[in-house]
Structure 1
Amino acid sequence: MLAPAITNALTIDVEDWFQVSAMAPYIRRSDWPTRDCRVERNVDRLLQLLDARQVQATFFTLGWVAERYPQVVRRIVAGGHELASHGYGHERASDLDRTALREDLVRAKGLLEDLGGVAVRGYRAPSFSIGHGNLWAFDTLLETGHAYSSSLYPIRHDHYGMPDAPRFAHRRPNGLLEVPVTTVRLGQRNLPSSGGGWFRLFPYPVSRWMIQRVNRQDRQAAIFYMHPWEIDPGQPRVPGIDAKTRFRHYVNIGRTEQRLQQLLRDFRWGRMDRIFLDGATPHATAGAAGPRPAAVSSVTA
């Protein structure tokens, strides 16, 4: 391992290939049940990879997936991983009003807890869709029994982003813990360094350098995220999609699993709840716990 001192958080957003927000203009929500669902086999493969390295992760799981594949939820819990919420139907939080978001949160949380037999404390908004226009969502999260969120992405992006948000774990004014996904600060700009499409686009040494920088220079745990469909080069190709969507979704998709295996070897990884809520660093690939990340800060607005 290259940077054993800090345990980073490995997170999986459990959704299928046809549920990606960028595919919404091309695949109607009503057509989801007719699509080739591949999420079960892909989650099983991820669980195998994690088990081989004795790594535990956080799985932000859609209620829609859990309802149809309850065995996926049970396998996640049985593997010692954290079960967390990604909402029910992958609707952006920014597209919902307070009542609709509350209903979505309650439905997903209740379903996951019933199936998994564990408390669901974490939530990640689909497409990191909490920002300046709906900061009230943090109040709804607290009111529905969530202890933390990982829904902010402090970058500029055409689909999401809140570039002036704190880069690291912090308490919102209502006390809810927000743990943004990781960025690297270069000059006056935050660069994405936490996985997803960027992990597939950048050569692996770039992603490794970014996480090392956050660990060594910022002395913070990195938050890495990915989706089960990103290790599945055999997934169906959607005809008629625009060039940008095609590139973003499929770029280097055949290399992701190999890169993930290298990532698991190069760093220490653990669950979000144990790193940021419980005050104890979980067992990962290196055994003994190292120093904890810097203290959680607070925001006043």
Structure 2
Amino acid sequence: MSLSAHGAEGAITNALTIDVEDYFQVSAFAPYIARSEWDQRECRVEHNVQRILELLRQHQTQATFFTLGWIAERYPALVRAIVADGHELASHGYGHERASDLSEQAFADDIGRAKKLLEDLSGKAVLGYRAPSFSIGTGNLWAFDCLAAAGYRYSSSIYPIKHDHYGMPDAPRFAHQVREGLIEVPVTTLRMLDRNLPASGGGYFRLLPYGVSRWMFKRVNAADRQAAVFYFHPWEIDTGQPRIEGLDRKSRFRHYVNIDRNYAKLQRLLGDFSWGRMDQIFLPDQQAGAAVV
């Protein structure tokens, strides 16, 4: 099964997603920043998400915010602001632990805790989940059983590319059913030269010239006739974030490359394509913004 949304003139509505976490919570920083230090760090996520909300208002665009329970617990007003602007609130788990690092029970506890917290704060049903660092793969497909049992309707947790930290290159590139009542919606790749190329955001979007990213999305929309799934993080527009000392060269480059240019690139992206929420694009039978029942 694959799904996409088309506008009045046949234009495809793509899915805009934001992974709501702070700069010190990224997986690449785990060897440098202990979880016990998180509460001592300067949190910048609230200001950055407010900037994103204003940007979306300017472009009259709605999006899906995959939000950490850890963040929601500390900034409940931010959760309510996301929902008040008509965006979809979805789950990024509670503590930004990779699904591949957790036991089945620990994963079930994490996704259940996050879902309940987000629903209690927002009053809205939380239907979507994205694993930190796209950490569902061939070694932990049991995670889909846990998600279905917890009441999620879709996951966006597989990146069908080969990567040193994640990836499942042989997975389907577009939305497909993985369990009864549960679909997986991978982030977007472009198929070229018998391999999947990353085309969905994050560090790749910051690194590549904007014209390349724009061409990739147009190619997926025109050739595959599918909605693209784009993602970014609030810290990727934050030029004033504290610099972490002692990083290895690769981690430093991946995190900080072209952050100073990213806001302007996002403005262009929002203007060049039609964007919407994951649930409205991939769960057309679901009433958007439904209250918790």
Indicate whether 1:178 and 2:184 are aligned.
Answer: yes
Alignment of 1:1-301 (within 5 A): 5-278=11-284
Q: How many residues align?
A: 280
- Conserved? CA contact 2:69–2:118, under 8 Å: yes
CA distance in 1, matches of 2:150, 2:192: 37
Q: Secondary structure at the match of 2:11?
A: strand
Kindly provide the amino acid, as one letter, of the partner of residue 127 in structure 1: S
Q: Secondary structure at the match of 2:274?
A: strand
Moved over 3 A (4+): none
C-alpha deviation, 1:4, in angstroms: 6.9
Kindly provide the amino acid, as one letter, of the partner of residue 202 in structure 2: G
CA distance in 2, matches of 1:166, 1:30: 38
- Conserved? CA contact 1:139–1:174, under 8 Å: no
CA distance in 2, matches of 1:154, 1:80: 30
- Conserved? CA contact 2:148–2:179, under 8 Å: no
CA distance in 2, matches of 1:65, 1:159: 24
Q: TM-score, normalised by structure 2?
A: 0.94
CA distance in 1, matches of 2:141, 2:50: 35
CA distance in 2, matches of 1:169, 1:5: 18
Match of 1:296 in 2: none
Q: Secondary structure at the match of 1:106?
A: helix
CA distance in 2, matches of 1:249, 1:53: 27
Kindly provide the amino acid, as one letter, of the partner of residue 236 in structure 1: P
Q: Secondary structure at the match of 2:13?
A: strand
Q: Secondary structure at the match of 1:49?
A: helix
- Conserved? CA contact 2:144–2:179, under 8 Å: no
CA distance in 2, matches of 1:4, 1:78: 29
Q: Deviations over 1:61-116 (max 9, x none)?
A: 00000000001100000000000000000000011111101110111000000101
Q: TM-score, normalised by structure 1?
A: 0.91
Structure 1 residue ranges without an equivalent (≥5): 283-301
Match of 1:298 in 2: none
Q: Secondary structure at the match of 1:112?
A: helix
- Conserved? CA contact 1:58–1:82, under 8 Å: yes
CA distance in 2, matches of 1:102, 1:144: 8
RMSD of aligned residue pairs (Cα, Å): 1.4
| TM-aligned CA distance change 1:244 to 1:10, over 3 Å | same
Match of 2:3 in 1: none
